[in-house]
Amino acid sequence: MTALVLGHKNPDTDSIVSAISAANLYRERGIDAVAAAQGAPAPETAFVLKQFGLEAPEVVTSVAGKDVYLVDYSDLAQAPADFSGCKLLGIVDHHKLGDVTSDCPLECWIQPVGCCNTILKLMYDYFGVKVPEKIAGAMLCAILSDTVLFKSPTCTDADRKAAAELAEIAGVKDVEALGMEMFKAKSNLNASPRDLIFRDFKDFDMSGKKVGIGQLELISLAMVTPELKAELKAELARVKAEGRHTAILVLTDIMKEGSELLVVSDAEDTVRKALNADANSWMAGVMSRKKQVVPPLQLAFKA
């Protein structure tokens, strides 16, 4: 049976490129595997795939009865609804360990680095497999995206090393220029408020409360007009009403290196206090949902 290599819901660049790079590595190891995704590529990801001549993975919404490798997550809330019916074979991830379980031993690669593709580069090296040039370029872009051009507090020396080696393989001379082109594509606001919220959105179980957190990374928050901000806040209220205790949108300014918080919650004061948002909802230095938003919220909801 061909195994699916599958990233999380509302896939970002790291999720989709991880599926592509991991599936290639598994095949090189003699494992029948194919990349899949739980959604179409967002603008930044579409730019990356076009830049390096790669096809977007097939969109898959059901995995019951299939063999599955997970990349870039291990939380059930980010998996297909029928995930319990699949056979989980492995995980490659750089987030906290989630709540997925398995009926058989797994091949797990979980490291506290800034990007899943950094771990995959380590895996390529470990198994002695050469990274193809096109895939190397996409993996480099995934690292640039997840580490916000190495500015994120999640960025490690391993990420910088992997990026340098992948750039050499891909023949990329100006890494920063490539990163800026990516973020220009990512800053495309030509979409509905709902699509913008769900462009990079994840649900979390926090002490029994469903908390949804989206992040929109932009070259400048000046791009978000007061009218658009009001529309985003109104749509966020509708997102919360879909069975969530809290719905959050983190608007990140990659040049100013900080974020603005939009929140609709049954405990809004708790959320704002946990994230140290000021009176204007600005969070100086906050760039990472994984490291600077999710952990303090989990602690706050445990209290």
Residue that finishes a domain, picked among 184, 218, 249: 184
Residue that finishes a domain, picked among 184, 212, 227: 184
What was the pLDDT predicted at 81?
Answer: 96
CATH of the domain at 254: 3.10.310.20
8 A C-beta contact, residue 132 and residue 95:
no
Q: Are residues 105 and 200 in the same domain?
A: no
Q: Are residues 8 and 113 in the same domain?
A: yes
Give the up-direction half-sphere exposure of residue 260: CA atoms within 13 A in the CB hemisphere: 16
C-alpha dist (Å) from residue 47 to 12, 180, 187, 241: 12, 12, 12, 33
Cβ contacts of 285 within 8 Å, gap of 6 or more: 153, 257, 258, 292
Q: Are residues 74 and 129 in the same domain?
A: yes
User: Any idea what the Cα angle at residue 129 is, between residues 34 and 182, rounded to 5°?
Assistant: 65
Q: Are residues 163 and 242 in the same domain?
A: no
CA distance 139 to 162: 9
DSSP string, 157-197: HHHHHHHHHHHHHHT-S-HHHHHHHHHHHHT---S-HHHHH
Domain that holds residue 263: 193-302
Q: Are residues 55 and 151 in the same domain?
A: yes
At 70-117, the pLDDT tens digits run 999 999 999 999 999 999 999 999 999 999 999 999 999 999 999 999
CATH of the domain at 78: 3.90.1640.10
What was the pLDDT predicted at 280?
Answer: 86
Phi, psi of 203 (to 5 degrees): -100, 145
At 277-298, the pLDDT tens digits run 998 899 999 999 999 999 999 9
How many structural domains are present in the chain? Answer: 2
Q: Are residues 289 and 175 in the same domain?
A: no
Q: Stretch 197-218: mean pLDDT, rounded?
A: 94
CA distance 44 to 186: 4
What was the pLDDT predicted at 289?
Answer: 94
Residue 303 has pLDDT above 80, yes or no: no
At 4-60, the pLDDT tens digits run 999 999 999 999 999 999 999 999 999 999 999 999 999 999 999 999 999 999 999
Tokens describing residue 216: 């929109």
Q: Are residues 174 and 197 in the same domain?
A: no
Q: Are residues 54 and 180 in the same domain?
A: yes
Q: Are residues 132 and 75 in the same domain?
A: yes
Q: Are residues 24 and 81 in the same domain?
A: yes
Q: Are residues 262 and 116 in the same domain?
A: no
CA distance 226 to 230: 6
What was the pLDDT predicted at 6?
Answer: 98
Burial of 212 (0-12, 13-18, 19+ CB in 10 A): buried
Residue 168 has pLDDT above 90, yes or no: yes
pLDDT band at 205 (very low <50, low <70, confident <90, very high): very high
Residue that finishes a domain, picked among 184, 209, 232: 184
Phi-psi region of 128 (alpha: psi -120 to 50; beta: other; left: phi over 0): left
Residue 61's closest CA among 79, 87, 43, 41?
Answer: 79
Q: Are residues 68 and 145 in the same domain?
A: yes
Helix (H, G, I), strand (E, B) or coil at 18: helix
What was the pLDDT predicted at 279?
Answer: 83
What was the pLDDT predicted at 221?
Answer: 95
Mean pLDDT rounded to a whole number for the chain: 96
Q: Stretch 171-188: mean pLDDT, rounded?
A: 94
For the chain, the 3-state helix, strand and coil shares in percent, each to the nearest 5, are 45, 20, 35
Paired residues of 110 in beta bridges:
93
